[in-house]
A and B are shown apart, each in its own frame.
Chain A
Amino acid sequence: MIPKAHATVTELALTPIIGHAMLRLVRLDAAQHPGLPPPGRAVDSAGCRIRWVEPGHWLATGQPAALAAIAVDVDLARFDVSGSLTGMAVIGEGWRELLMIGGVFDAEARTFGPGCIARTIMHHTPLLIDCIGDDRVEAWVPPSHAAEFFDFWHNTVARRGRRLSAPLP
């Protein structure tokens, strides 16, 4: 009955992402680096996922061996940042709706889709959103904020909003 565009958040599954290492690659004196994704994009490459996060900064996740294999040159510095972020996978078509709650970012825009990343603030927490597929995003927050932030999402999913998306009057 309710059109697909308004799939409710009640159908979402939230799963912690564990067992990965994180590396930050930083260009020393420029905003771009050949072979690394442009602003707002993420790519999968040789067992790692590499995301642009800031001008001249990229965040890579994967197994330690795969991360170690990422070639760096004199213009690129490597930083181990495995403890910096806690990840949560949001699985289900209602992820766009969930991301509209408590935030200011337009997650319902079709221009934000698989392969896109966005950084924003939601419920007092800095958030990195990585769109993996049409029905999956990964959310990364600082570990100190993670308990409260993901608690907020669990409550939102559990609380069945009667008019989360309005049906016909």
Chain B
Amino acid sequence: MLLINCPHCGPRAQAEFGFERPVETILPVDASTATMVERLYTRTNARGVSAELWRHSHGCRAWLRIDRHVVTHEILCVALWVALWQAPQ
């Protein structure tokens, strides 16, 4: 079970989080059909670090960007998704 350091809640168990999608698949609502097909169905799936969108579903419910190595599960960084929602220092 991964340990994910949520910027709001501190280190928490993976059971509290939900993986949403790789960052490269985020699609604006006004995207064209061609963009939609490419983003959703053409994936790189690299054997290395994956930039991912996660949510702290059973915690603070914030959207997080997590860079995770898909082989070793090493987590390189955890950050709040949108700058607008940064926690104060």
Contact = CB atoms under 8 A, between A and B. Distances in A.
Contact of A39 (B12, B15, B60): B60
B60 A54 contact: yes
Interface residues on B, range: 10 to 19
Contacts of B15: 104, 121
Interface stretch (B32-40, B45-53, B79-87): B79-87
The A contact surface, by secondary structure, is: loop
A118 B60 CA distance: 8
A40 B86 contact: no
B78 to A, nearest CB: 15
Nearest to A121: B58
Nearest to B3: A104
Interface stretch (A29-37, A73-81, A91-99, A158-166): A29-37
A151 B62 CA distance: 30
A104 B84 CA distance: 29
B58 to A, nearest CB: 4
Interface string B42-72: 0000000000000000111110000000000
A31 B12 contact: no
A94 B80 CA distance: 34
Contacts, number: 51
Interface residues on A, range: 10 to 19
B74 interface: no
Contact of B9 (A31, A32, A56, A118): A118
Interface string B4-40: 0000111011011000000000000000000000000
A40 B59 CA distance: 10
A39 B56 CA distance: 14
A84 B80 CA distance: 27
Contact of B84 (A29, A53, A118, A119): A29
8 contacts: A31-B86, A55-B62, A55-B87, A56-B85, A104-B12, A105-B13, A119-B60, A120-B58
Interface of A: 29-32, 38-40, 53-56, 104-105, 111, 118-121, 126
Interface of B: 1, 8-10, 12-13, 15-16, 58-62, 80, 84-88
